[in-house]
Amino acid sequence: MSTIIDQNLVARHNGQLQANLHADYDALAGVLSRRGVDIETLTVHAQQFAVALPSWGAGTGGTRFARFPGKGEPRNVFEKLDDCAVIHQLTRATPGISLHFPWDRTDDPKALREQAESHGLYFDAVNSNTFQDQQGQEHSYKYGSLTAQSAATRAQAVQHNIDCIELGRALGSKALTVWIGDGANFPGQHNLRGSLERYLDSMRSIYAALPDDWQVFIEHKLFEPAFYATTIADWGTSFACAQQLGPKAKCLVDLGHHAPNTNIEMIVARLAQFGKLGGFHFNDSKYGDDDLDSGSINPFQLFLVFNELADAAQREGASFKTANMLDQSHNVTDPIESLMSSAVEVQRAYVQAALVDRAALRGHQEANDVLQAAQTLKQAFRTDVSPILAMARQRSGGAIDPVGAYRAAGYREQAAVARPARAGASSSGIV
């Protein structure tokens, strides 16, 4: 595997942190062994964790008010891939990349795939985009895409999704994620039922184009850009559509796409129970689709989501799998740093969930010992598993302190020189 940052630099940086890490790791090993938990098993578990990076998260995001570009932002998909390779090199937790078309369109998928493979990366689900108009596009999505009243517009949106599958196929992806912004801003703007009927019609054509070993993920979102009625607004609608479409259709849960205080872990449990949990877009939020760094606002919620995933994995065994991806927008931080720390936060929740004493929890539930049941979860959540995560990274060839090593390497400064800002540069399509 070729690396972008000098591995000797990573090794030197690790060397400075080595003694402290071992002391912390040994201390935690002692704490865990008193609970009957073997730290080595957990470290191997941490090493197996993977969350995919959103290509669109590598550039600085923006809001509808402004975008404040960062230095050395990637200017094309190949440069985004370089940044993703750096993130994976240091965290060893992000081998997948989720592309977004047409933002990441390339005439040379073979070269892109080769570049990815040279860094030990692969392509996770590809995303279609019918929530914006592209230059030269024949029919506008102003009044909807897969649900538009105009048959020609719907056909164009369907074709775009089929093109995404084709491109994804050349890149080795195995899934398509469909999120549409379709809906109504006014009561009466469209027929609520008719809109969903047209959606299903369009999705049936996309579903028919899926290769045998592919899945399609339906991503719901409560609101925005449609403010009165979003066609695929909630997990219930997503679930019903996935059922209608067939076994290759599943639901994708973007954590930020729910009303504040929604019990997302219960949605996860429901979808898992009925075999329709396809994957995640991890991020965090305070108000709406804020796309903040994972674990930055509500780490307990993230842990509870992973607790449900651990429960499902225990019930269903190796066949239980979800596509895990980040979906974040970075406005005031270096995107590489945010993506590295977010991947680590998701990995933290994954390891903490593995710490839950499930037999004890079940016992407390059966005995209606509510307090102890809650405490069983809290004990796992409160355990600082940082030494396990750091050890897992180091053993896999990554950095004990990814952000520290990244800064020491001066990658961003070098990128700023190699990728000079373009006059009038606009958002790289980040919504």
Say which DSSP state 248 is in: T
- Shortest separation between residue 254's beta carbon and ligand PSV, angstroms: 5
Cα–Cα distance for residue pair 25/416, rounded to 1 Å: 37
- Residue 127 interaction partner, one of Mn ion, ligand PSV, none, beta carbon < 5-8 Å per kind: ligand PSV
- Residue 431 interaction partner, one of Mn ion, ligand PSV, none, beta carbon < 5-8 Å per kind: ligand PSV
Question: How far is residue 223 from each of residues 93, 232, 256, 371, 419, measured CA to CA in Å?
Answer: 31, 9, 11, 37, 36
Strands 277-282 and 183-184: unpaired
Considering only 104, 308, 311, 327, the residue that binds Mn ion (CB under 5 A) is: 327
Considering only 47, 127, 153, 301, the residue that binds ligand PSV (CB under 6 A) is: 127
CA 195, 201, 204: angle at the middle one, nearest 5? 140
Contact between 127 and 177 (Cβ < 8 Å):
yes
How many residues of this chain interact with ligand PSV, rule: CB under 6 A?
A: 10
Name the residue nearer to ligand PSV (CB basis): 285 or 301.
Answer: 285
- Residue 141 interaction partner, one of Mn ion, ligand PSV, none, beta carbon < 5-8 Å per kind: none
Say which DSSP state 165 is in: H
Q: Residue 375's CB: how many other CB atoms inside 10 A?
A: 15
- Residue 265 interaction partner, one of Mn ion, ligand PSV, none, beta carbon < 5-8 Å per kind: none
Say which DSSP state 318 is in: G
How many residues of this chain interact with Mn ion, rule: CB under 5 A?
A: 4
- In angstroms and rounded to an integer, the radius of gyration of the C-alpha atoms of the chain is 22
Contact between 226 and 182 (Cβ < 8 Å):
yes
Which of 4, 103, 87, 7 lies closest to 52 in space, CA to CA?
Answer: 87
By CB under 6 A, the residues from 209 to 248 that bind ligand PSV are: 219, 221
Q: Is position 364 an interface residue for Mn ion (rule: CB under 5 A)? A: no
Q: Is position 281 an interface residue for ligand PSV (rule: CB under 6 A)? A: yes
Q: Is position 104 an interface residue for ligand PSV (rule: CB under 6 A)? A: no
Structure-token match 């517009």, residue found: 153
- Shortest separation between residue 130's beta carbon and ligand PSV, angstroms: 10
- Residue 283 interaction partner, one of ligand PSV, Mn ion, none, beta carbon < 5-8 Å per kind: none
Contact between 224 and 231 (Cβ < 8 Å):
no
Binding mask 317-356 for ligand PSV (x = CB under 6 A): ----------x-----------------------------
On the 0-12 / 13-18 / 19+ scale of CB atoms within 10 A, 222 is middle
- Shortest separation between residue 39's beta carbon and ligand PSV, angstroms: 36
Q: Is position 124 an interface residue for ligand PSV (rule: CB under 6 A)? A: no
Cα–Cα distance for residue pair 276/273, rounded to 1 Å: 8
By CB under 5 A, the residues from 215 to 274 that bind Mn ion are: 254
Q: Is position 303 an interface residue for ligand PSV (rule: CB under 6 A)? A: no
- Residue 103 interaction partner, one of ligand PSV, Mn ion, none, beta carbon < 5-8 Å per kind: none
Q: Is position 381 an interface residue for ligand PSV (rule: CB under 6 A)? A: no
Q: Is position 431 an interface residue for ligand PSV (rule: CB under 6 A)? A: yes
Name the residue nearer to ligand PSV (CB basis): 113 or 221.
Answer: 221
Cα–Cα distance for residue pair 261/300, rounded to 1 Å: 12
- Residue 303 interaction partner, one of ligand PSV, Mn ion, none, beta carbon < 5-8 Å per kind: none
CB-closest chain residue to ligand PSV: 431
Question: Cis omega (within 30 of 0) on the bond before 260?
Answer: no
Considering only 289, 293, 308, 401, the residue that binds Mn ion (CB under 5 A) is: 289
Name the residue nearer to ligand PSV (CB basis): 201 or 290.
Answer: 290
Sign of the dihedral defined by the CA atoms of residues 146, 147, 153, 155, in that order: positive
Name the residue nearer to Mn ion (CB basis): 82 or 254.
Answer: 254
Q: What is the DSSP string of 106-161?
A: -S-HHHHHHHHHHTT-EE--EE---SS--TT-SS--TT-STT-S-HHHHHHHHHHH
Q: Is position 160 an interface residue for ligand PSV (rule: CB under 6 A)? A: no
By CB under 6 A, the residues from 17 to 56 that bind ligand PSV are: 56
- List residues binding ligand PSV (CB under 6 A): 56, 127, 179, 219, 221, 254, 281, 289, 327, 431
Residues near Mn ion, by CB under 5 A = 254, 281, 289, 327
